[in-house]
Amino acid sequence: QKEVEQNSGPLSVPEGAIASLNCTYSDRGSQSFFWYRQYSGKSPELIMFIYSNGDKEDGRFTAQLNKASQYVSLLIRDSQPSDSATYLCAVTNGFGNEKLTFGTGTRLTIIP
């Protein structure tokens, strides 16, 4: 079992709709959870992080964490074509001070 699992996609969402990206992790000791966006040929760009159970909102993005279910998700509201990218879920065992363990990423395509 992989430590961090994501559906590789592609996930196609119409422009203006909500995109929902999911991630599960195997280590119950995981403390910090991150979502990175990666455009083709570019490096990962941090878009959200969450440490506590519940929801965290930042603009059009909402991260959701459920530690009991070992599940973290990212919602993108009012999806735009510029949101088309690969979204990487990453976890650490510390409070952002240790290595990131990444999933393989979910490729998201927003259809105009």
Partner 1 sequence: DTGVSQDPRHKITKRGQNVTFRCDPISEHNRLYWYRQTLGQGPEFLTYFQNEAQLEKSRLLSDRFSAERPKGSFSTLEIQRTEQGDSAMYLCASSYSYNEQFFGPGTRLTVL
Using CB under 8 A, list all residues that contact partner 1: 4, 8, 34, 36, 42-46, 49, 88, 90, 94-105
| Rounded Cα–Cα distance for residues 21 and 63 (Å) | 10
User: Taking the complex as a whole, how short is the minimal distance between the CB of residue 79 and partner 1, in angstroms?
Assistant: 22
Nearest to 19 by CA among 103, 71, 79: 79
Residue closer to partner 1 (CB basis): 36 or 76 = 36
Residue closer to partner 1 (CB basis): 27 or 45 = 45
Q: Which two tokens stand for residue 13?
A: 């969402």
Upper half-sphere CA count for residue 104 (Cβ side, 13 Å):
7
User: Taking the complex as a whole, how short is the minimal distance between the CB of residue 78 and partner 1, in angstroms?
Assistant: 25
Q: With contact defined as beta carbons under 8 Å apart, do 89 and 3 qualify?
A: no
Residue closer to partner 1 (CB basis): 81 or 96 = 96
User: Taking the complex as a whole, how short is the minimal distance between the CB of residue 112 and partner 1, in angstroms?
Assistant: 26
User: Taking the complex as a whole, how short is the minimal distance between the CB of residue 97 and partner 1, in angstroms?
Assistant: 4
Q: Which two tokens stand for residue 112?
A: 């105009």
